[in-house]
Structure 1
Amino acid sequence: MSSQNTQENDTGTDTTAELLGIIRDPAARKFVSSTLWATIKKIPVAGDMLEILGEVFIGLADQERAFRHQRLVDYILGVAAIRRADLDIQDEDLLVAIRRVIQDDEAGKARYYARLTVLMVESNVELEEKLHFLNMLSELACSQIAYAREFYIRDTIPLCGYPDCDSAVRELISQGNGRNLRARSNLVSWGLLQEEQLPAGLDGASGIVYKRTEDLGKLITFLFSENDRQPNAIDKTRKAAFDVIIVNHLKSTDDLYLTHLSSRLESAGLTVDVVDRVSDHQLQKTARRYVWNNKLSKPSASGPEKESIEIRILNAPPLVGGPSSRDTGSGSFRLTSGAFNNARNHSHLGSGSTTELLSLLDAVADSLIIALGQ
């Protein structure tokens, strides 16, 4: 008798494990059928529990079929909405995507599968690469796809509130909650982000930076339209962009440093903005080139120090105190302090007193026009 009870208990344990295995298997869970019902019947339980479980699992099966049907409808409508009339999508392209749409637990990803199908065909992506991106999409959760898009936007578009793109990315990376850590780990494992170890600093500390890969750019382009790749998609604002920003620091004769230089550049078709040296323009605006001036002093053996003014063309925005020492810029122009502002030196007053300044500003303008391809 004891042996029989033991055998029955073992049978109950085995069938329970069998049921749990089916329930936990995503593929099997999508095809709940009479086989599952037969398995449930083997579990030794009392009363009407078997009937209750049966009703529950039949209901779950019906619900799952409805979900799969809706995902398939969303996918097909998505493909139909974005495909071009002259685009020939082969059955093979549709079938490999449909299999993953049906198997995917997240209903919200149907639109991603639709865009991925169409855009990969438009881009003439090879079959092996198509399968790579489809497998990638099936493994990434919607929240991880959103994280990838935010990383991409922060890394490619200058955003208000940050000195540069690197600062915007660092803020995202610094958010160390579990969901973000998991997202970053998955993006790295799929080759969308690349970890780079920073060398140790003077304090001996080192760290890791994350760089986007070419595949990240491809995936985001496949999954999101251009409008959905803009800063407002992550509640950010794009910086105002100009060809040239002139930093207003030292005053020149008749404000020619500002007015003449702006006029020359604008007449060549460049967009120009003027900002004060002490301002938050680095957080609100961006430019392809910056123009900055500064006072230089040179010791003189025969008398007081000789002052001169340096006008520099920079590739990056200067800090409040001056340009970064790493930014060598693309040009440096000098003239005496008196020639820059003749109010400081009465010998420059009168006819022709601005000639040297105008000549220098024209040289600055010419250098910018050439550098910016106008």
Structure 2
Amino acid sequence: MKKSILSLYLIVVSLNYSCAQKAENKVKTDTKSKISAELFVDELQIPWGIAFLPDGSMLITEKAGKIIHFKNGKKVEISNPPSVYLRGQGGLLDIALHPDYKNNGWLYFTYASEEGEEKGGHTAIMRAKFKNNALTNKELLYKATPNTTQGQHFGSRIAFDNDGYLYFSIGERGNRDENPQDITRDGGKIYRLNDDGSIPSDNPFVNKKGAKTAIYSYGHRNPQGLIKHPKTGEIWDHEHGPQGGDEINIVKKGANYGWPLVTFGINYSGTSITDKTEMEGMEQPIHYWVPSIAPSGMAFITSDKYGDMKGDLLVGSLKFQYLEHLIIDGTKVIDRIKLLPEIGRIRDVKEGPDGYIYVAVEGKGIYKLVVN
């Protein structure tokens, strides 16, 4: 009898999952844009983040802990990088320039750090200056606690808003039942700081006893995309779901994004996490993927280099190894188009100062997107 009930339950879960797949719009293969990729920086292992300096040269983080300066066709390794906890998905992660970098010279990094009393590591954010191919003036701005030897869900991306506030993401570190919904704990959150690491006085939980006051939103799983909308100034994130249920969200002050109480995904074993895809008081994604594409890196197209693609969104897929073009109408995804099929595991997507899109591909390097 118990086996029959279990079998029936798994059938229902499977049907729900299949219905979610049918309900979600399907990705199409590009047949019109004639976009191709030219290898721009070669021989990189896991290029996790890209940032462009004012002179047009490029800084690249390698997950293993290296920072590469690419200029005039040459790669130079920068000395004195942050010390990283290299385990599973953890290592040296994102990189971003301060909006006023030309005047203040601040670079920002997220990485997995061992600093702390416990074994293992957790996500941290640092700022530093770049001089004579070395990092100087290093300042640790935030270090999540407690450390854990779990190897998954470190996040982490960086974005600045129009007011100069610094946002960064930290995944729930594999502890889904405690971290995402508890504002007294790190993990499963998007944080907001002043650019010097201090806490903004209007952060949503500054007057909440015991809360991590850097938290801006919570209930996230593993956000690996975080960007500013070029017109509205809103911060958009995307995050990994479990099996199904990757999401795009607009980050709102104090908002709860539901993980793991609501999700469009299921456990990797095929069993249900929850039967709820929405709940009062929790934000709904503006888009979700079923099946999961394992998104990493995200960029709006703001230049005229790609014709009528201007204003649309690009997201890299780790799982299916292509670049996804999301056609956007306001805050709604109205179509999905597959670009660069089988190029490899795309880790980051950035629009350069020249208006071209650059994508970081694991085991290969940085590609520049051109229209033939």
Q: Give the TM-score normalised by structure 2.
A: 0.21
Q: Name the structure with the higher strand share.
A: 2
Which of 1 and 2 has greater Rg?
1
Q: Name the structure with the higher helix share.
A: 1
- The structure whose RCO (Cα within 8 Å, separation 6+) is larger is 2
